[in-house]
Amino acid sequence: MLPLAYVLRNVRRRRLRTGLTIAGIALVVAVYFLMGSVAETMVKSFRSTGGPEELVIVQAGAMLVDYSNIDRSSLTYVQTLDGVASKDGQPLVAPELVLPSVIVVDGSERKAGVRGVTAMAPTVYRQVELATGEWPGPGHRAAIGRSLAAKLGIEIGDSLEIEGDHFQIAGLLDAGGRVYDQEVWVDLEELAAAANRKTYSSYTLRAQDAAAVPDIIETISENRRFPLSAQDAPRFYRRTAGMASFMASLGEMIAMIVAIGAVFGGMNTMYAAVAARRREIAVLRALGYRKVSILGAFLVESLVIALVAGVLGVLLGTVIALSPIELPYSPSGMVSLGSYEAISALVLAAIIGLVGGGLPAIRAARTSVVGELR
């Protein structure tokens, strides 16, 4: 085999062409790495949301709770379902109004999930605790997830604007990194008045036990008076996670398509290298180096270029992920980077290098010694 120093020296010989190839592959890797990390971040935050005894009820056919509209008259029907848990004679059913809203903090508009709740919410949502302060309630008192509060730089006593109304932060919520940590909770009726909504978005309820959940779901699905659809909370949020990550996965697909262009870019670079070094290759063959050595040298050269680009792409994706980009439904509001996504991105870079360098390497190995040295 040819020494590695020979390969590295040849990589540095064509700085402009090699630099452009590295830049192209690095951009592809950065997009792939970033989109994969976005998808995994959103899935993680949804995956742990909801307990086995919780159900989420939305309008039949609504893919997301944001687009669900439920007639308020259905509340009594849901409260009287067999199997619904109760406390102090009150059924544990929490009607909600969920809005993907734009909130105004210190004059700046920021996107955040806003959930209108009733006094029943603290009892129903056992995964949400009050870290400090008070629960949301009438009087335009709001509670905000600790992660969202840290991201927005606000604390108890500060005010924010939602749908044109001003709310004062009365409490901080702690949901252990679940989706609720990225929400603002306010009084349902006050949010409905501000948004001019006369319907609910959903109901979250607690069953007496996990065994009662399938029966409640079946009863709701068979009801013809109210077009409702119910799922146990873990499954509902997993489905929501799947839809959320699907959008990020589209970015990965686009990166894969662009990767085909990167393959041809790398191939063009390596073909140019072979054309410029045909006589050098013939000399190496005359010195006794076998075809497989020539083949291996060019493949390694292409792989080195691709891996350098891969590392730069991962670094670029990391810089973008650590920049102040707001990512909904993330425990920190930002992209969480994982080793699996980084390794996958580097593997993609290696594949681009090997595929792009394959045909040029074969051509180099087939160089005619007599023809080039005559």
pLDDT per residue as tens, the chain (374 positions): 666 676 667 677 777 778 888 888 898 888 888 877 777 766 666 666 777 889 999 999 887 788 899 999 999 999 999 999 999 889 999 999 998 777 888 888 887 889 999 999 999 988 889 999 999 999 999 999 988 888 888 889 999 999 889 999 999 999 887 778 888 999 999 999 999 999 999 999 999 988 899 999 999 988 888 999 998 888 887 777 666 666 666 766 777 787 788 888 878 888 887 777 777 777 776 777 787 877 877 888 888 888 999 999 999 888 887 765 555 544 445 666 777 888 888 998 899 888 888 888 888 777 766 565 66
Burial 169-199 (b: 16+ CB within 10 A, else e): bbbbbbbebbbbbbbbbbbbebbbebbebee
Mapped onto helix, strand or coil, the DSSP state of residue 58 is: strand
Looking only at the bridges linking them, the beta strands covering 141-145 and 165-174 are parallel
Angle (deg, nearest 10), helices 291-322 and 233-276: 140
Round to whole Å and give the CA distance between 371 and 362: 17
State residue 199's pLDDT score.
Answer: 93
H helix or E strand, kind and range, residue 109: strand 108-117
Mapped onto helix, strand or coil, the DSSP state of residue 329 is: coil
Round to whole Å and give the CA distance between 226 and 129: 32
Q: Write out pLDDT tens, residues 105-160.
A: 888 888 788 999 999 999 998 888 999 999 999 999 999 998 888 888 888 999 99
State residue 331's pLDDT score.
Answer: 46
